[in-house]
Amino acid sequence: MLTVSQSPARLSDHDRLIAAHRWILAAAWGIWCTGFYSLTLLTFLLPPIQKAFGASEGDLATLTAVGVGMTGVGGLLFGWMSDRLGRRLAMAVSIAAFSLGNAACAMAPGFGWLLAARALVGLGVGGSWGAGQAMLGETIPPALRGKYGAIAQTGAPSGLGLATIVGSFVAPVLGWRTVFLLSAAPILALLVWGRVPESDLWLEHRRQLRAGEAPHARTPILAQLVGPDLAGVFTKAFLLTLLNMSAYWFAISWLPRYLQKARGLSIFGSGWWTLTFVAGSLLGYLSFGWVSDIIGRRLAFALYCAITAVGLVMVTLLWGLVASRPAVGLAFMFVAGVGTGTWSCYGPYFSELFPTRVRGSAMSIIMNVTRGVQFLAPLVITGVAGRWGLAGGVALAAGFAALAGLWVWTLPETAGARIEV
């Protein structure tokens, strides 16, 4: 008797990756890499921009803050778009926004134009993570979710590495305007966007909405997030991300400046030190997914937070112990980078914590509003640096990392959970 094998009902029911998964993974990784590159590139171009426009240190802090702050607005806009109009559309519009923003930076005739262009970049970047990670969480098999969510998350250190290379080594040759213009290239990805499938779980959710089978169909998404069934987990997840985001941005937004001004490194020297941090980040991002699938999301998160705190303290407050031994200092920069592997936790973890009806919004709002709040980071560090030096400002990151490692225990463990509509 012949039997007909049936294909799994959902993409996440497969026991291994198929072509559709690979396109989704490539899209999620690519959008996060180019988005994070677009957001962090400015950090390395501040000196020539300051010279071109005669900007003050306060102007540069404002310029940095605008791009980061607008990611919070982007999180709200693209989170809604992701849940209501689809993961694919939200990702595509996000790419278009930050690509066009980069092009506008290249053509800025004055500082005000540059501020507006950076706002557009930040808006687009705000949509580049939530939709992609929501799609991954909904389609990747549960046993592989941590691993492949981590692979997608390596787009962040890859983007930072690319920004470091372009900003430190390419921009001095080609000029900052040419670099911004070339950074509009990600929009070309939309030429092959038709190959990226929509999340079948989201499509099923939309079918239920049209059929009147969804109990929350008429409730606004923000109201659902603060409703009795989700308010607790939403608040705890938000605070976890805020603490970890503060640790990251207090370090990365001022790290090149700290190395150049406080430690006397050249723009090339600080570039190499930052690349060491990026190399550690790549290892941390990749290893976290594997570790968290084995020992759980919470324990892995706490462990990597501790690693970050140790590395940052050594290259800031305890610089005197490593100043005469650059290799040791670089080793601790690498260690601090490894600890940032915590960012590989968020995509899989939040996909498991939130239902499909609000998953894209919850992930985008939490990630981007907490990052948007970091518009205060450059301003705070500037203030702290005036009293305790740049090392003291960057060292605040270690304290935030330690607090995040403790707070994660207020959330439930979800490793390997099956995601339902």
In 211-325, alpha helices (H)? 221-225, 231-252, 255-257, 267-295, 297-315
On whether the CB atoms of residues 346 and 367 are closer than 8 A, the answer is yes
- Cβ atoms of residues 201 and 59 within 8 Å: no
* Mean pLDDT of the 388-415 span: 82
Q: Residue 3: which pLDDT band, with cuts at 50, 70 and 90?
A: very low
At residue 199, φ and ψ (nearest 5 deg) are -60, 125
Separation between Cα atoms, residue 317 and residue 293, nearest integer Å: 34
The pLDDT of residue 6 is above 70: no
Nearest 10 degrees: Cα torsion 243, 249, 251, 253:
-170
| % residues pLDDT > 70 (the chain) | 83
Cα–Cα nearest to 347, from 1, 32, 21, 15: 32
**How many helices (H) and strands (E) are present in the chain, helices listed first?**
19, 0
What is the torsion angle, in degrees rounded to the nearest 10, for the CA atoms of residue 379, residue 116, residue 75 and residue 11? -130
Contact 96, 334 (CB under 8 A): no
User: What pLDDT, on the 0 to 100 scale, is given for residue 4?
Assistant: 38
What mean pLDDT comes out for the span 260-281?
66
Query: Residue 267: what pLDDT?
Result: 47
The reported pLDDT for the residue numbered 67 is 87
| φ and ψ of 149, to 5 deg | -65, -35
What pLDDT, in 10s, does the model give residues 201-245? 888 888 887 777 666 666 777 888 888 888 999 999 999 999 998
CA pair distance 42, 35, nearest whole angstrom: 12
CA separation for the pair 89, 79 (Å, rounded) = 11
CA dist 180 and 171 (Å) reads 9
More confident residue, 6 or 136: 136
In this prediction, residue 302 has a pLDDT band, given cuts at 50, 70 and 90, of very high
Residue 142 pLDDT > 60, yes or no? yes
Which tens digits make up the pLDDT trace of 21-79? 899 999 999 998 999 899 989 988 988 998 888 888 788 888 988 888 888 888 888 88
Residue 300's nearest CA partner among 252, 354, 348 is: 348
Predicted local confidence at residue 412, as pLDDT: 93
- Options 1.10.150.80, 1.20.1440.230, 1.10.10.10, 1.20.1250.20; CATH for 17-193+219-410 is 1.20.1250.20
Lowest mean pLDDT among 81-95, 99-113, 245-259: 245-259
**CA dist., res. 102 & res. 122, Å (int):** 10
- For residues 143-168, one letter each, b for 16 or more C-beta atoms within 10 angstroms of the residue's C-beta and e for the rest, the string is ebbbbbbbbbbbbbbbbbbbbbbbbb
